[in-house]
């Protein structure tokens, strides 16, 4: 399955959100929904946040030009919120997933569950 298919089928199609990206730990964007862009600085900071969850929790994080308050970060999955926007991040072995959602249409808990399931599958595939 292509990286874009994971986004289209396993994230957006499963109701996790309305925008997403899959990024390699080398910083390369492997796939993304149209118009959803993570800057190189954001990617670097998000990867560091997976290594230092307490920092991510204390300081929040930036994604797609927005600063999110971090609600959860355990090194594997992070959840953030900014107004009516939510984001779920998940780290696999060689990639991480970012999925943004409109909280008026999607429950953050549901989005987080779907992202975590995809990340577990990707880990099993050594991705």
Give the model confidence (pLDDT) of 53-80 as tens digits. 999 999 999 999 999 999 999 999 999 9
d(CA 93, CA 68): 24
Q: Render pLDDT for 25-48 as a digit per residue (tens, 0 to 9).
A: 999 999 999 999 999 999 999 999
pTM of the model: 0.95
Instruction: Report how far residue 98's alpha carbon sits from residue 39's, in angstroms, rounded to the nearest whole number.
Output: 13
């Amino acid at each position: 399955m292509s990286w874009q298919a994971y986004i289209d089928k396993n994230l957006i199609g499963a109701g996790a959100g309305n925008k997403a990206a899959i990024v390699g730990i080398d910083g390369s964007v492997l796939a993304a929904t149209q118009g959803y862009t993570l800057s190189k600085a954001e990617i670097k900071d998000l990867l560091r946040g997976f290594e230092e969850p307490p920092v991510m929790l204390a300081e929040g994080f930036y994604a797609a030009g927005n600063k999110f308050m971090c609600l959860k970060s355990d090194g594997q999955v992070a959840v953030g919120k900014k107004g009516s926007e939510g984001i779920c991040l998940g780290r696999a072995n060689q990639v991480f997933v970012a999925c943004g959602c409109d909280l008026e249409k999607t429950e953050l808990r549901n989005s987080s569950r779907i992202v975590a399931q995809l990340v577990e599958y990707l880990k099993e595939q050594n991705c």
